[in-house]
């Protein structure tokens, strides 16, 4: 993709909690942008911020006008619907040599099925999911794990750099999505165990801020103790911007992967059950930090 004054128009599909700040970074770097979402409110919010951004009314319009299209959608089912759905759909309208980048946290097995189907249409496909949440999407410092053909990745490297600082190539198509699920498997375990330590410590009579201060000064420190406990859990704000349903989805992907590969886990089933029970009780739209409520009554 060209850099400088003549950048190709980028299509961005899925202007949600993450898509909005990510697309904003792309627009702020001077890329002509065309956005699409099934939510009219989401599109309006974006176009109000960026006068130069254009809203597409259909996926066909995105396909016809963009050589690079980014997907930031809830899951693989939605990704497949957008690409190959029955009514308005993207793939038939993409020109040969186009690149589709799936930045959603999708299922790697589905991603590996999609690749050859797009190849039949002469369209390149890479997976580039992200980590860092809304905060790091806003400041453009996401971690991006990228799977697929290195020459295709090189063509969109400048575009990816507008959204992230650590861009790590993980290998074959789908390996970025596999790594994303594994990262959130670790992250979900770290949050749950930090919540449990908080609950036990408080029941013992230790003030919450002391509990988190000790963990952060000691070997129990993790991303949740540093960036979630005092910010969202202890004050019961529960507004990190990442939903419980999406976290449960990522753990499901990781545990499915372990089953398919025969990789032994001790915590996998317990973790999946804990987060599935939380989703049943609190709803998928609850913030993922609300997992603490499962311990707090």
Residues at the interface with ligand NAD (CB under 6 A) = 13-19, 36-39, 42, 72-75, 78, 81-82, 104-105, 130-131, 133-134, 241-242, 246
The nearest distance, CB 161 to ligand NAD, in angstroms, is 18
* Count, residues in the chain: 297
The nearest distance, CB 106 to ligand NAD, in angstroms, is 7
Residue placing its CB nearer to ligand NAD in the complex, 192 or 211: 192
Q: Which of 66, 60, 106 is nearest to 83 (CA)?
A: 60
The nearest distance, CB 62 to ligand NAD, in angstroms, is 10
Residue placing its CB nearer to ligand NAD in the complex, 41 or 51: 41
Residue placing its CB nearer to ligand NAD in the complex, 134 or 167: 134
The nearest distance, CB 182 to ligand NAD, in angstroms, is 13
The nearest distance, CB 17 to ligand NAD, in angstroms, is 4
SS3 string, the chain, reads CCCCCCCCCEEEECCCCCHHHHHHHHHHCCCCEEEECCCHHHHHHHHHHCCCCEECCCHHHHHHHCCEEEECCCCHHHHHHHHHCCCCCCHHHCCCCCEEEECCCCCHHHHHHHHHHHHHCCCEEEECCEECHHHHHHCCCEEEEEECCHHHHHHHHHHHHCCEEEEEEEECCCHHHHHHHHHHHHHHHHHHHHHHHHHHHHHHCCCHHHHHHHHHCCCCCCHHHHHCHHHHHCCCCCCCCCEHHHHHHHHHHHHHHHHHHCCCCCCHHHHHHHHHHHHHHHCCCCEHHHHHHHHHC
Residue placing its CB nearer to ligand NAD in the complex, 7 or 17: 17
Name residue 169's beta-bridge partners.
146
The nearest distance, CB 105 to ligand NAD, in angstroms, is 4
The nearest distance, CB 180 to ligand NAD, in angstroms, is 7
Residue placing its CB nearer to ligand NAD in the complex, 105 or 274: 105
Residue in the shown chain whose Cβ atom is closest to ligand NAD = 16
Residue placing its CB nearer to ligand NAD in the complex, 17 or 228: 17
Residue placing its CB nearer to ligand NAD in the complex, 60 or 81: 81
């Amino acid at each position: 993709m060209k850099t400088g004054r003549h950048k190709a128009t980028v299509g961005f599909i899925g202007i949600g909690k993450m898509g909005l700040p990510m697309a904003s970074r792309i627009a702020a770097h001077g890329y002509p942008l065309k956005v699409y979402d099934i939510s009219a409110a989401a599109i309006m919010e974006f176009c109000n911020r960026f006068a130069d951004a254009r809203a597409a009314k259909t996926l066909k319009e995105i396909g016809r006008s963009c050589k690079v299209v980014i997907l930031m959608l809830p899951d693989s089912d939605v990704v497949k619907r957008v690409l190959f759905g029955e009514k308005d759909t993207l793939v038939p309208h993409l020109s040969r040599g186009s690149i589709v980048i799936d930045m959603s946290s999708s299922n790697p097995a589905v991603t590996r099925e999609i690749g050859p189907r797009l190849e039949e249409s002469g369209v390149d496909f890479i997976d580039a999911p992200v980590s860092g949440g809304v905060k790091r999407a806003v400041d453009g410092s996401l971690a991006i794990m990228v799977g697929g053909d290195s020459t295709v990745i090189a063509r969109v490297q400048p575009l990816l750099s507008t959204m992230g600082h650590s861009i790590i190539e993980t290998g074959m198509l789908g390996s970025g999505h596999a790594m994303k699920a594994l990262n959130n498997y670790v992250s979900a375990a770290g949050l749950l165990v930090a919540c449990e330590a908080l609950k036990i410590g408080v029941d013992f009579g230790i003030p919450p801020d002391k509990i988190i201060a000790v963990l952060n000064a000691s070997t129990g420190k993790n991303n949740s103790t540093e960036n979630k406990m005092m910010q969202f859990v202890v004050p019961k704000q529960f507004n990190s911007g990442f939903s419980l349903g999406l976290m449960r989805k990522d753990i499901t992907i990781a545990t499915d992967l372990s089953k398919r590969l025969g990789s032994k886990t001790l915590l996998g089933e317990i973790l999946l059950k804990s987060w599935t029970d939380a989703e049943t009780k609190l709803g998928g739209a609850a913030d993922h930090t609300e997992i603490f409520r499962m311990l707090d009554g």
